[in-house]
Each structure stands twice: as structure tokens, then as C-alpha cells.
Amino acid sequence: MTDAMSGTTTPSPPPVDPRTGPQTEMPVLERFRMDGRVVVVTGASSGLGAGFARALSSAGATVVLAARRKERLEALAEELRSRGALASTVACDVADPESCAAMVRAAMDEHGRIDVLVNNAGLGTAVPALKERPEQFRAVVDVNLNGVFWAAKECAAVMGPGSSIVNVASVLGLTAGFAPQAAYSATKAAVMGLTRDLASQWGSRRGIRVNSLAPGYFASEMTDEIPEKMLADITGKTIFGRLGRQAELDAALLFLASDAASFVTGTTLVVDGGMTMH
């Protein structure tokens, strides 16, 4: 199959028996392994993205770390290499389509393939809607929605059957937040819709799974800045009365990225400690 826009040729998924599916059996825990897979993680310089890169690397993946802050990427790459992992870095501003194209070219030049994209780069703001300036709103849309599309589009053009795209959304795309975040909430809801459409387009034609991950509030650099009163309100809305831990989100991310989720596409996996139950 040749992509009409990029000219890239990728194999079509092989025909399968509609009753039995592909005949590839493996022990269940091995389905979570990422050995031999090349994974691009955007927004990997800090926070959840850096955590995702560590988790994927520990599962055997070769990781391509992408973000605007190249120096922080290099530090993380050295950390992973010190553990015997394979990692490379590339500076990328996902709001710029050409930067996303250059990111994919760099990954292909270095590793020869891309099997998984973790679309994690994001921008959060808290501005009352009546005070939010057009340039502020557009900046969030450019990163959180447009950037997800540009990165997914460029990666999908070179991905083969069995590949996976995980778009990081948020529970704020599903429920009201605790601060005025119209732009952020709107973009995260839009990412879920985009995920469903791309899953429909690329599933049968290319064999690419596309899902979204919707975290609640997890301990990170961003939550460190939340005032104590608001933090109490947030944790009070969860069933467990606390913030989530990185490892709890890593497990969900690994599920969606790996063969463990080979029959899962077009869905949003919510990991929020029960917050959206209310």
C-alpha cells in the first residue's frame, strides 16, 4: 500500500479468518513485552512522558525521546542507556507539522522502523474563559490537538500492520475540572474523537490500532503546583482519596501499546481512581 501524500509504501494487513483471527499464540505475560519494538514518545523530557519512556524501555522497547527541550532528553537517554537500553533523542515541536515530519525521518534513519507512537506532548493552562486571549487558546489547540494529529499522521505513514498509536487525553475531556481550563478540556475531548476516527481509518486498511489514555490526576511536576485546598478537592473526588502514581498509569499505557491490546482500538482507557464515576 502506497500513501498518497507521503509516497511511503507500507504492507497491507494480511487477510485473516473472521472467526479465529490471526494465528499467533503466546503466553499472556509475553504479550506485554516490547522487545524489538521502536517507540516514539513525544513530550518525553519530563513528567508523565519521561515516566512512559522508562516503563517502555524496561519492557524491552527501543525508545525515541522527542520534545522541545533537547538537553533534558539527552539526560534521560543517558539514564536509560546506563541500564543497557537503546534510546535516541530528537528535538520536536509537535505544533509544527514539519517538525513532526523531521522527527519521523530521524527515527527512521536511526532505527529503520516505528512500531508505536505515544502522543504525550501537551500544554496546560488555567485561564478564566472571559479573560482568555485568542493566542492563548490557539496555543493550547496547536499542541494538544493539532500536534497529536501531525505526529500521528507522520508516524502512521511509515508504520506496518500491528503497530499502535496511544494518544494521551485526560479525564478533563470527560468531566468538569477544578480550575478554568476551557482550552485544555476542549482539546482533550477532541483527542478522544480524533482517536476514534483514526482508528476507523487506519485499522482495516493499515492494521494500526489507535487508542487514547485518559489519566486523572497523577503525582507529577504539574500537580506539585496545585494549592493544598484544590488538591484536597481533587483527591476527595477519587474513590481512593489520593493522586495516582506513575507506575499505575505506566501499566495502562503498556497495555495499549503492546500486543496485550491486539483487539482493542478506537477506545479511551480511563485511569482516574474512580473520579469520573461521580
Identify the sign of the CA torsion 98, 100, 101, 102. Answer: positive
Model pLDDT for residues 246-278, shown as the tens digit of each residue = 999 999 999 999 999 999 999 999 999 999 987
How much is the pLDDT for 22? 60
Is 217 annotated as catalytic? Answer: no
Model pLDDT for residues 179-191, shown as the tens digit of each residue = 778 899 999 999 9
Three-class SS state of 149: helix
How much is the pLDDT for 169? 97
How much is the pLDDT for 125? 83
Residues in the chain: 278
DSSP state of 219: S
11 has a pLDDT exceeding 80:
no
Query: Can you name the CATH fold of 34-272?
Result: Rossmann fold (3.40.50)
φ, ψ of residue 231 in degrees (nearest 5):
-60, -40
99 has a pLDDT exceeding 70:
yes
CA–CA dist 163, 155 (Å, integer): 10
Higher pLDDT among residues 124 and 263, named by residue: 263
User: Which of the residues 52, 150, 184, 218 is marked catalytic?
Assistant: 184
5 has a pLDDT exceeding 50:
no
Q: What is the mean pLDDT of residues 127-147?
A: 93
Q: Chain-wide mean pLDDT for the chain?
A: 91
Identify the sign of the CA torsion 39, 139, 47, 245. Answer: negative
